[in-house]
A and B are shown apart, each in its own frame.
Chain A
């Protein structure tokens, strides 16, 4: 009888020794298992006012959606990386700068003055004369980002 018990115990020991090491990896992952990862993506697009530039000397933009309260603002042009320039249909570029602008929430207007119109025209004339650009209509956009503080 004792031998039967010993024999049975031997079975249990051998079974445990053989199955236990195999059972855990088989449970954790079978062939073709996959892993999943997850990321949250967040981004904020602030309110902005878009101005079509048709005169570089003076622009007055009426806007109905200026945020109330204190705001911060920044601006960028339609050139590469927000560069301030206008372009014609050959993609010739004319740079410009802004002398000043005023955002008036009382009458909900944005007034923009292009800096030094004479310098701009002189630059344009020189570029045309040197045939680096052709005289034509130049267009661009100027965008103001307005964010509540």
Chain B
């Protein structure tokens, strides 16, 4: 018993344990720094755009608000939109026919900016709340011009619009 106590006193005393903890903390420090810089972003609340049938006149516009979340580092973010057309262009298709559309984005309360396919655009106002506090902070808009619709062949058109959100 005395031998064990002696061992504990010499090898596992308070100084020994503290020195080991210090070493571990130093070993873990690089991981801690990485964790502090890690940035999570999230886009939520997206909807599909179902325009229905064109009435035959006027532009067709539809918009949807979304929540942009950024875990740390401020509220700036970039949006890169790409369509399902050739070269990621913003077009919907029906067989071999296509109709081009325009995509715009804005921080809620600001004015819309037109997005260029596959090109990042910068915005502000991302929330540090995963749910944006229950109030969406960004808005996207899809618009078909009457000219493009008028020139299109009859048919049911569809396409996919993809947004990539990244910390800025």
Please give the residue numbers on chain A whose beta carbons come within 8 Å of chain B beta carbons, in ascending order. Answer: 2-3, 6-7, 10-11, 14-15, 18-19, 22-23, 25-26, 28-48, 74-76, 81-82, 143, 145, 147
Contact = CB atoms under 8 A, between A and B. Distances in A.
Which applies to chain A's interface (DSSP): helix, strand, loop or mixed? mixed
B164 A6 contact: no
B144 A15 contact: no
Given A31-B39, A35-B165, 8 more contacts: A22-B31, A33-B41, A37-B165, A39-B140, A39-B160, A40-B160, A42-B49, A43-B158
Which 9 A-B residue pairs are closest in the complex by CB-CB distance? A82-B57, A43-B51, A29-B40, A37-B43, A34-B166, A47-B154, A76-B57, A42-B158, A40-B48
- Interface hub of A30, A43, A74, A143 (most chain B Cβ within 10 A): A43
A47 B154 CA distance: 5
Nearest to B84: A41
B117 interface: no
Given A18-B24, A36-B164, A48 B56 contact: yes
Contacts of B142: 39, 41
B54 to A, nearest CB: 5
A61 B17 CA distance: 97
B14 interface: no
A44 B92 CA distance: 10
Nearest to B165: A35
Interface of B: 4, 7-8, 11-12, 17, 20-21, 24-25, 28, 31-32, 34-35, 37-44, 46-58, 60, 64, 66, 71, 92, 94, 99, 101, 140, 142, 144, 149-150, 152-167
Nearest to A77: B57
Contacts of A7: 11-12
20 contacts: A3-B7, A7-B12, A11-B20, A14-B20, A15-B24, A22-B31, A31-B38, A32-B39, A32-B166, A35-B166, A36-B164, A39-B64, A41-B49, A43-B52, A43-B149, A43-B158, A44-B52, A45-B156, A81-B57, A147-B53
A143 B101 CA distance: 22
A25 B4 contact: no
Nearest to A1: B4
Contacts of B161: 38-41
A19 B156 contact: no
